[in-house]
Chains A and B, each alone.
Chain A
């Protein structure tokens, strides 16, 4: 009993930045900030009366201008509805994908107060994050640091690592209900456009969000449209290998989904395990027309750091030299490719999917330039001074 009282007192003490209360300036507490209430709050603040701070008034002005004086209701990707009474000023991201998406939307990076440890280490891709606080990973979160940063919002995954994310959410809900937990994946083709728009609305970046969503959907829809009329039996047969030799993906894995969006046919999609290990003979028997090899993480070659095209080339050579593979259609037609998971896995999956589509159907996608798409994404939306011609290595050839 005592402890709960204390918790309540503590919450009131830190009510300055906590957004648990309603809209600042909403004097009658009816959940709507109308012009007279706002004006009264502003005047009181200007003459030094009342207990609203400058940040409170700025929040009130935001709510009045952008949300028409009403709290914003958003539904995140886990289906929960959140009500925001103030704009987000202190954000903690546990996922690199949501951090990247916030940057694409033009969200002020100073408002991100902490990132997960993996993003913290990516000095090439997230140069501004090295100085931010590090809150660990989803499976090993530093909850004390999250709390001491007093964030408004914490970003977690919606549909993966659910056990770990649910635990973080439970702990936050129990100890600090003022902290909003936003569950967004930001890497799934099916949900990403919707997520872009929702996050844009929540952060007040609607214009940029709209632009980015249109850029993204133009690429993905273009791919879908270009492969829509390919009959099933004419789909390009693809053998897509994971980091480990002879490990591929089956349906249910995100990579397979992107392969199929690009119009490919994976003969091993029906396997029961998510990442089945295939008998090498079965691969030769299936005689794929295209072979794609994934690098990154466990098979470190390429990526944003350095410009190691040679490593990707070496990966390709290693595959070409596999015994008996010279008879494969893919090898005979010179259609063995290497791609890095950075552009196929996370928020940049549309770039990787574009490459896949171009490799599977070169004539249909002759006009598609995945490199230009990638460069535009980096320069225009991510704001990175990164030149693909001289930095990074993502695909070979």
Chain B
């Protein structure tokens, strides 16, 4: 009797924490977007930036100061929103990866996707070879090579049996392979090409455009609801293969599907931005510490945390060396440092 009361109370508290957490994140995100849109070297006041947004939406009622509408709509707004969407996607992909690999240090890049995308970009930049010509050469290459990596994981896992251990091993092997190829291409390339590859690998939201934002949003809008719908299976998988099988979850197939979906989300983001690390690793971790490991809420919540983190990192990158823009991948790499120190200090055997 008492036990059930304690449990129910505990659960009610948990639900309340989750609501507060998610609500707080949403509010924080809105505030951050509001701040980020005013950052830039054009020297507009906060009011002028908002006026420009309103003028873009309701041109009859509002008129923006000269140039403000072009700068805000063509340079800032889609970049800010892209950071939100990319952070969301990477965090969701990271949380899914941590679930199926049953490793809290897993990230979307554990299975070698980022290395593969970097190789694709290097092939495009140094060899000029790719699947699609023109300005989409690098993007298409990065995307398809990233998917190639996940297909390779799939193939290797099928061969040796699907389990988190085999996938991680296969992922590490692929990561080394692709890194070696990238290094070779960097060596062979000219100084210019080397610079281009390195800049790509820094990871930046600077190349965003409205169409790219639309594409990524579309992919995330299609995949995340599906992941939340299947979240219960993820919860089961996180407990262990036998437990999950016992609960009636088709283990192998589920793991593959989840892996492919997470890889798809990651690939579609990093083909536009380059490899942005640590969001997929840190966001789910933070979320888990705050509201627990139930994937039904962990997925959307860590997505929000990821969005906040990436937007904050990009805003810092845009302000800290103004007017120079520090690529967001560099800022997030520094993010990893306090995180791992924290983990190191507060290690719990859970």
Contact = CB atoms under 8 A, between A and B. Distances in A.
Nearest to B321: A140
A7 to B, nearest CB: 7
A144 B55 contact: no
A252 B190 contact: yes
A144 B196 CA distance: 22
A170 B66 contact: no
Nearest to A272: B188
Interface residues of A, number: 37
Contact of B70 (A10, A136, A139, A145): A10
A116 to B, nearest CB: 12
Interface in B165-205: 187-188, 190-192, 195-196, 199
Interface string A166-182: 11001100111000000
Interface in A219-271: 252
A6 interface: yes
Nearest to A163: B196
A144 B71 contact: yes
A145 B42 contact: yes
Contact of A3 (B56, B76, B207): B56
A300 interface: no
A255 to B, nearest CB: 12
Contact of A134 (B40, B70, B209, B323): B323
Contact of A142 (B41, B57, B64, B190): B41
A160 interface: yes
A308 interface: no
Interface residues of B, number: 35
A10 B55 CA distance: 11
Nearest to A16: B66
B125 interface: yes
B258 to A, nearest CB: 35
Contacts of B138: 163
Contacts of A166: 135
B50 interface: no
A7 B41 contact: no
B73 A163 contact: no
A40 interface: no
Interface of B: 40-43, 55-59, 64, 66-67, 69-71, 73-76, 125, 135, 138, 187-188, 190-192, 195-196, 199, 207, 209, 323-325
Interface of A: 2-3, 5-7, 9-10, 13-14, 134, 136, 139-140, 142-145, 147-148, 150, 160-164, 166-167, 170-171, 174-176, 252, 272-275
